[in-house]
């Protein structure tokens, strides 16, 4: 603690009395001015980083680097910093500390604030590598006094200056022409003082253990090194033995059994991180049990590393058990971790609903509530491995843990199932909503019908529509019915569609949209359903919509008869016949298409007040004159 307080004192003084040899040193480094400018990602985050691929990783995304830089570009109390990090779902781990300091090598101010914050709030996340990373920042930015002060603190903690840090800083000193500092740094290494550091002794312990079978002689060699055993020193050795977990465990047990060192939470966690792999899984769980019995908590970093390995190796059962263990402790995984695990379970070779249920039980048992976002992510994962048909099974399991889908999510599920061809599953989903004592919202029915239409299952779409209006009435059925009619027409079944419309209008008092009527009229005329189109025209009139006559005039004048024209004119009005202007328009259309004979037939069927109308007679005389003149020219 004395060394830690000393370092904090040095860092605070360095910040208050900044000495920057080159005031333009940081002029090229630009920070984001607000959190809203940081790129966002649509992929769902795991518990330890805001972005990830299919497996957990500890790499610090560039977005997080910029975000953290922005946070620490300002002087804020520790609790405010933590709130900012939590709100952006950024978790600081040992590895991310090192990565971030490496990325901040040109911004000493931000690096100092960040390092000081970690030292004050989570000193266990700092290691020899972290200190050396900070040394590089100070040395390469010419902050000489702070550099040597930190070297002194590291020496007191038993840490040595790494070769990498020495070479980087030495190069920087040489470029700046700092001859005395170059000589001082070289002398530090030439004196051998670094080789005698506690850190170097720990590295020698690693070599001894790795290259020998454990016996009394190995124990003697370790004792003879006279290492000052501390939590950091033990962690350094365990990390160095990470590729040989069995030897690391022997060393770990020997330390305490021989009375050399009493383990605490940091060393138990370091050992757990080494053992958290497939080939040492039994020893991992034994150690975790011992750690719990000793009253120590699993650190977030330990949980993250072990979970990542378990998921990567498809050890889903162990991943779930690890989640249960961590959720029972003080350092609980983030809420996102539940979704992450559920997704891993549903994409496994076999869908294990017991493991799925165990995660839900632990998650909700801690007071958390399942949300639409959680469920949507899980359903997408099921689809990604061809298990859309299992949606209802998974949803039912979630409902057992107090999940209730919002109307918006219900609508999406109904559509995705029916539009993907899972017809029975889609209907089962809607039935399950009703069985739970709720009524599916109108949009859910709408989506169900629309999905059936997408796949051409018109009989199921019609059945669902009829059920919808039976249970919810026809008030808000206009859009859904138009989708249904459009699908029938698109499949060349306009005549059948018109009969469905007439039936529903007459029996259920459905009032289709004007656009639906217009659509159906056009399709009926194209598909040879003039009589049905005329029936629709009557319904348009009865529902007091503006008359829709253009398609009729065009169709009849091109291919219809005079009798058809009379039927059309009678259908468009509640009177016996429409106004004279409509007759004139019909005559003119016949003439434009060169159908003079059919115009005469139409005239013969018209009432007398039309046949002897002056405008009508003038139109026919004009047309006859033009026809005669045309014939004369041709004869000449």
Q: How far is C-alpha 58 from the chain's CA centre?
A: 19
pLDDT tens-digit series, residues 394-404: 999 999 999 99
Residue 100 pLDDT level (bands cut at 50, 70, 90) = confident
CA 498, CA 117: separation in Å to the nearest integer?
73
pLDDT at 286: 97
pLDDT at 35: 23
| 517, 539 Cβ separation under 8 angstroms | yes
CA 533, CA 555: separation in Å to the nearest integer?
11
pLDDT at 185: 85
pLDDT tens-digit series, residues 56-96: 333 455 556 778 788 888 777 887 777 777 777 777 777 88
Q: How far is C-alpha 67 from the chain's CA centre?
A: 19
pLDDT at 274: 97
**Least confident range of 6-10, 287-291, 564-568:** 6-10
CA 141, CA 23: separation in Å to the nearest integer?
11
pLDDT at 28: 28
Q: Is pLDDT larger for residue 182 or for residue 189?
A: 182
pLDDT tens-digit series, residues 134-171: 999 998 998 989 989 998 888 777 777 888 888 898 89
**Least confident range of 88-102, 550-564, 606-620:** 88-102
CB under 8 Å to 114, separation ≥6 — which residues? 68, 72, 100, 101, 104
Average pLDDT estimate for 226-247: 93
Nearest Cα neighbor of 410 from 461, 368, 376, 364 is 376
pLDDT at 415: 96
| 322, 306 Cβ separation under 8 angstroms | yes
Residue 507: how many other CB atoms lie within 10 Å: 8
pLDDT at 58: 38
Whether the predicted pLDDT of 633 surpasses 50: no
Nearest Cα neighbor of 591 from 620, 634, 559, 630 is 620
DSSP-derived letter for residue 606 is S
Whether the predicted pLDDT of 631 surpasses 70: no
pTM: 0.70
Whether the predicted pLDDT of 628 surpasses 80: no
Q: Phi and psi at residue 473, in whole multiples of 5°? A: 85, 180
Nearest 10 degrees: CA dihedral of 465, 471, 474, 476? -80
Residue 196 pLDDT level (bands cut at 50, 70, 90) = low
Token pair belonging to 230: 């501390």
pLDDT tens-digit series, residues 298-325: 999 999 999 999 999 999 999 999 999 9
| 577, 562 Cβ separation under 8 angstroms | no
pLDDT at 61: 56
CB under 8 Å to 109, separation ≥6 — which residues? 15, 18, 26, 73
| 540, 514 Cβ separation under 8 angstroms | yes
pLDDT at 627: 62
Residue 53 pLDDT level (bands cut at 50, 70, 90) = very low
Whether the predicted pLDDT of 43 surpasses 60: no
Q: Is pLDDT larger for residue 283 or for residue 630?
A: 283
Token pair belonging to 539: 């319904």
CA 520, CA 529: separation in Å to the nearest integer?
10
Token pair belonging to 564: 């058809």
pLDDT at 446: 95
pLDDT tens-digit series, residues 364-374: 999 999 999 99
CA distances from 627 to 55, 621, 635 (A): 83, 10, 12
Residue % of the chain over a pLDDT of 90: 58
Whether the predicted pLDDT of 290 surpasses 60: yes
Nearest Cα neighbor of 126 from 89, 103, 96, 166 is 96
Q: Within a 13 Å sphere around the CA of 536, how many CA atoms are in the beta-carbon half?
A: 32
| 365, 371 Cβ separation under 8 angstroms | no
| 61, 51 Cβ separation under 8 angstroms | yes
Whether the predicted pLDDT of 9 surpasses 80: no
CA 473, CA 466: separation in Å to the nearest integer?
10
DSSP-derived letter for residue 298 is P
Residue with tokens 């409902």: 399
CB under 8 Å to 596, separation ≥6 — which residues? 590, 623, 627
pLDDT at 8: 53
Query: 3-state DSSP helix/strand/coil percent for the chain, to nearest 5?
Result: 70, 0, 30
DSSP per-residue string spanning 401-465 = TT----HHHHHHHHHHHHHTT-HHHHHHHHHHHHHTT----HHHHHHHHHHHHHTT-HHHHHHHH
Q: What is the residue-averaged pLDDT of the chain? A: 85
Nearest-5° angle of CA 295, CA 299, CA 301?
160
DSSP-derived letter for residue 528 is T
Residue with tokens 């920057």: 20
Nearest Cα neighbor of 64 from 42, 85, 95, 33 is 85
Residue 574 pLDDT level (bands cut at 50, 70, 90) = confident
Nearest-5° angle of CA 451, CA 401, CA 379?
30
pLDDT at 256: 94
pLDDT tens-digit series, residues 491-517: 999 999 999 999 999 999 999 999 999
Residue 50 exposed, middle or buried by CB count within 10 Å (0-12, 13-18, 19+) = buried
Residue 6 exposed, middle or buried by CB count within 10 Å (0-12, 13-18, 19+) = middle
Average pLDDT estimate for 408-425: 95
| 169, 139 Cβ separation under 8 angstroms | yes
CA 593, CA 612: separation in Å to the nearest integer?
23
**DSSP helix/strand/coil, 480:** helix
């Amino acid at each position: 603690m004395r060394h830690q307080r000393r370092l904090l004192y040095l860092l605070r003084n360095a910040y208050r009395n900044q000495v920057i040899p080159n005031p333009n040193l940081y002029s090229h480094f630009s920070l984001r001015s607000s959190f809203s400018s940081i790129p966002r990602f649509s992929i769902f985050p795991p518990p330890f980083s805001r972005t990830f691929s299919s497996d957990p990783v500890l790499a610090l995304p560039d977005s997080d680097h910029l975000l953290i830089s922005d946070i620490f570009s300002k002087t804020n109390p520790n609790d405010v910093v933590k709130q900012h990090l939590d709100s952006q779902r950024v978790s600081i781990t040992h590895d991310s500390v090192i990565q971030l300091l490496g990325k901040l090598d040109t911004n000493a101010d931000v690096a100092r604030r960040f390092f000081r914050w970690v030292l004050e709030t989570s000193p266990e996340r700092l290691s020899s590598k972290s200190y050396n990373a900070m040394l590089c920042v100070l040395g390469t930015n010419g902050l000489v006094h702070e550099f040597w002060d930190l070297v002194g603190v590291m020496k007191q903690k038993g840490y040595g200056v790494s070769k990498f840090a020495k070479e980087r800083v030495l190069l920087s000193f040489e470029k700046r022409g700092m001859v005395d500092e170059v000589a001082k740094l070289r002398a530090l290494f030439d004196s051998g003082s670094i080789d005698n550091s506690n850190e170097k002794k720990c590295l020698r312990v690693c070599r001894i253990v790795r290259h020998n079978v454990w016996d009394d002689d190995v124990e003697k060699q370790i004792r003879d090194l006279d290492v000052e055993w501390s939590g950091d020193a033990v962690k350094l050795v365990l990390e160095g033995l990470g590729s040989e977990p069995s030897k690391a465990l022997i060393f770990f047990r020997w330390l305490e059994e021989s009375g050399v060192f009493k383990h605490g939470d940091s060393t138990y966690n370091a050992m757990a991180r080494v053992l958290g792999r497939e080939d040492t899984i039994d020893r991992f769980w034994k150690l975790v049990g011992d750690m719990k019995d000793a009253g120590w908590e699993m650190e977030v970093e330990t949980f993250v590393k072990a979970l990542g390995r378990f998921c990567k190796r498809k050890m889903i059962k162990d991943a779930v058990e690890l989640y249960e263990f961590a959720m029972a402790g003080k350092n609980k995984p983030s809420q996102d971790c539940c979704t992450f695990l559920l997704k891993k379970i549903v994409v496994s070779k076999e869908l294990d609903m017991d493991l799925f249920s165990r995660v839900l039980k632990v998650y909700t048992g801690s007071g958390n509530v399942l949300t639409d976002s959680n469920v949507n992510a899980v359903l997408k994962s099921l689809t990604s491995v061809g298990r859309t048909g299992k949606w209802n099974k998974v949803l039912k399991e979630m409902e057992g843990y107090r999940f209730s889908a919002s109307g918006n999510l219900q609508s999406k599920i109904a559509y995705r199932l029916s539009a993907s061809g899972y017809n029975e599953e889609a209907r089962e989903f809607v039935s399950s909503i009703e069985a739970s004592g709720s009524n599916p919202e109108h949009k859910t029915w709408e989506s169900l019908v629309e999905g059936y239409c997408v796949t051409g299952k018109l009989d199921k779409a019609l059945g669902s529509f009829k059920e919808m209006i039976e249970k919810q009435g026809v008030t808000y059925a206009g859009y859904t019915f138009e989708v249904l009619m459009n699908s029938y027409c698109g499949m060349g079944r306009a005549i059948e569609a018109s009969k469905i419309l007439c039936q529903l209008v007459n029996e259920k008092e459905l009032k289709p949209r004007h656009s639906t009527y217009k659509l159906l009229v056009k399709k009926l005329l194209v598909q040879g359903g003039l009589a049905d189109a005329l029936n629709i025209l009557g319904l348009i009139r009865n529902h007091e919509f503006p008359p829709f006559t253009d398609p009729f005039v065009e169709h009849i004048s091109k291919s219809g008869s005079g009798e058809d024209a009379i039927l059309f004119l009678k259908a468009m009005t509640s009177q016996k016949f429409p106004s004279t202007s409509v007759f004139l328009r019909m005559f003119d259309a016949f003439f434009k298409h060169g159908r003079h004979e059919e115009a005469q037939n139409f005239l013969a069927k018209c009432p007398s007040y039309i046949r002897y109308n002056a405008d009508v007679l003038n139109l026919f005389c004009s047309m006859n004159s033009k026809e005669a003149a045309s014939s004369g020219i041709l004869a000449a």
